[in-house]
Amino acid sequence: MSLLQNKSVLIVGLGLIGGSVARGLRSGGLCRAIYACGRDERPLQQAQADGVIDEWSTDLKSIAVKADVILICVPTLTVRRVFEDLKGVVSDTTILTDAASVKGSVVEDFQAVFGNECGQFVPAHPIAGSEQTGYLASNTKLFMGRKVILTPLANTDRTALLVVTQLWQALGALVNEMHVDTHDAVLAATSHLPHLLAFSLVNTLAHEKQTEDIFRYAAGGFAGFTRIASSDPVMWRDIFLANGPATVAVLDAYVQELGSMRDAIVAGDGDLLRSRFQSAKDARDSFVRKHFSNGNGVETYGHSNQIVPAQKVVPVLTIDGPGGSGKGTISARIAQTLGWHYLDSGALYRLLGLAARRAGVSTGDEALLLPLIERMRIRFGPDQGAIWLDDEEVSSELRTETSGAAASEVAVHPAVRQALLELQHDFRQMPGLVADGRDMGTVVFPDAQLKIYLTASVEERANRRYKQLIAKGIDVNLSDLFVDITARDERDSSRAASPLRPADDALLIDTTEIGIEQVVALVLDLIRQRYLST
Ligand code: C5P
pLDDT per position as a tens digit, 138-158: 988 888 878 899 999 999 999
468 lies in a domain? yes
- 271 is in which domain, residue-wise? 183-291
Lowest mean pLDDT among 9-18, 116-125, 228-237, 254-263: 228-237
Q: What is the mean pLDDT of the chain?
A: 88
Does the structure show a pLDDT above 70 at 1? Answer: no
240 lies in a domain? yes
Does the structure show a pLDDT above 90 at 264? Answer: yes
Q: What integer pLDDT is reported at residue 460 of this predicted model?
A: 92
Cα(345) to centroid of ligand 1, in Å? Answer: 7
Cα(192) to centroid of ligand 1, in Å? Answer: 45
Q: Which long-range contacts (CB under 8 A, 24 or more apart) does 166-170 make?
A: 166/2, 166/3, 166/4, 167/4, 167/9, 167/21, 167/25, 167/30, 167/69, 167/71, 167/97, 168/124, 168/126, 168/143, 170/2, 170/4, 170/24, 170/25, 170/28, 170/30
Domain co-membership, 77 together with 100: yes
Gap between the Cα atoms of 140 and 160, Å rounded: 24
Cα(439) to centroid of ligand 1, in Å? Answer: 9
Q: 346 CB under 6 A from ligand 1?
A: yes
Confidence of residue 290 (pLDDT cuts 50, 70, 90): low
Q: 413 CB under 6 A from ligand 1?
A: no
- Mean local confidence (pLDDT), 415-420: 93
- Residue whose CA is closest, atom 6 of ligand 1? 346
- Mean local confidence (pLDDT), 86-95: 96
Burial class (CB in 10 A: 0-12, 13-18, 19+), 454: buried
Cα(47) to centroid of ligand 1, in Å? Answer: 52
Q: What integer pLDDT is reported at residue 94 of this predicted model?
A: 97
Domain co-membership, 210 together with 118: no
- Residue whose CA is closest, atom 9 of ligand 1? 408
Question: Given ligand 1 and candidates 408, 409, 464, which is best to mutate, with the most ligand atoms within 8 Å of its CB?
Answer: 408
Does the structure show a pLDDT above 50 at 300? Answer: no
Domain co-membership, 156 together with 212: no
The percentage of the chain sitting over the pLDDT mark of 90, rounded to a whole number, equals 59
The percentage of the chain sitting over the pLDDT mark of 70, rounded to a whole number, equals 90
Confidence of residue 111 (pLDDT cuts 50, 70, 90): very high
Single residue among 128, 144, 178 that ends a domain in this structure:
178
Cα(391) to centroid of ligand 1, in Å? Answer: 23
307 lies in a domain? no
- Mean local confidence (pLDDT), 495-510: 89
Q: 488 CB under 6 A from ligand 1?
A: yes
- Residue whose CA is closest, atom 5 of ligand 1? 346
- Mean local confidence (pLDDT), 70-87: 97
Confidence of residue 319 (pLDDT cuts 50, 70, 90): very high
Does the structure show a pLDDT above 70 at 437? Answer: yes
**3 state SS of 95:** strand
Question: Given ligand 1 and candidates 348, 349, 399, 469, which is best to mutate, with the most ligand atoms within 8 Å of its CB?
Answer: 349
Q: For position 252, which CATH number holds?
A: 1.10.3660.10
Single residue among 161, 178, 195 that ends a domain in this structure:
178
Beta strand ranges found along 390-463 (DSSP E): 392-393, 433-437, 450-455
Cα(132) to centroid of ligand 1, in Å? Answer: 49
CB 124 within 8 A of CB 97: yes
299 lies in a domain? no
Confidence of residue 224 (pLDDT cuts 50, 70, 90): low
**Cβ density class 211-239: b for 16+ within 10 Å, e for less:** eeeeeeeeeeeeeeebebbebbeebbebb
Domain co-membership, 187 together with 148: no
Q: For position 470, which CATH number holds?
A: 3.40.50.300
301 lies in a domain? no
Cα(438) to centroid of ligand 1, in Å? Answer: 6
- Mean local confidence (pLDDT), 120-136: 87
Q: For position 17, which CATH number holds?
A: 3.40.50.720
Confidence of residue 312 (pLDDT cuts 50, 70, 90): low
Atom from ligand 1 closest to the CA of residue 328: 1
Domain co-membership, 388 together with 484: yes
Single residue among 128, 160, 178 that ends a domain in this structure:
178
Give the residue from 109, 101, 116 showing the smallest Cα distance to 82: 109
Domain co-membership, 363 together with 489: yes
- Mean local confidence (pLDDT), 125-147: 84
Q: 437 CB under 6 A from ligand 1?
A: yes
298 lies in a domain? no
Instruction: Please give the tally of structural domains in the chain.
Output: 3
Confidence of residue 382 (pLDDT cuts 50, 70, 90): low
The more confident residue out of 280 and 224 is 280
Does the structure show a pLDDT above 70 at 137? Answer: yes
251 lies in a domain? yes
Angle between helices 233-242 and 193-206 (to 10 degrees): 130
pLDDT per position as a tens digit, 515-528: 888 899 888 878 87
Q: 439 CB under 6 A from ligand 1?
A: yes
Cα(453) to centroid of ligand 1, in Å? Answer: 14
Domain co-membership, 269 together with 325: no
Question: Given ligand 1 and candidates 327, 344, 345, 490, which is best to mutate, with the most ligand atoms within 8 Å of its CB?
Answer: 345
Does the structure show a pLDDT above 60 at 407? Answer: yes
Domain co-membership, 76 together with 199: no
- Residue whose CA is closest, atom 4 of ligand 1? 346
Torsion (CA) 275, 280, 284, 285 in degrees, nearest 10? -10
- Mean local confidence (pLDDT), 86-113: 96
Does the structure show a pLDDT above 90 at 303? Answer: no
Domain co-membership, 62 together with 151: yes
Does the structure show a pLDDT above 60 at 533? Answer: no
pLDDT per position as a tens digit, 184-206: 999 999 899 999 999 998 888 87
Domain co-membership, 140 together with 93: yes
- Mean local confidence (pLDDT), 406-428: 92
Domain co-membership, 334 together with 234: no
309 lies in a domain? no
Domain co-membership, 211 together with 328: no
CB 431 within 8 A of CB 335: no
Atom from ligand 1 closest to the CA of residue 398: 4
Cα(341) to centroid of ligand 1, in Å? Answer: 19
Q: 492 CB under 6 A from ligand 1?
A: yes
Cα(402) to centroid of ligand 1, in Å? Answer: 13
Lowest mean pLDDT among 42-46, 76-80, 152-156, 169-173: 169-173
Cα(409) to centroid of ligand 1, in Å? Answer: 9
Cα(397) to centroid of ligand 1, in Å? Answer: 15
Query: What length is written for the chain?
Result: 534
Q: 342 CB under 6 A from ligand 1?
A: no
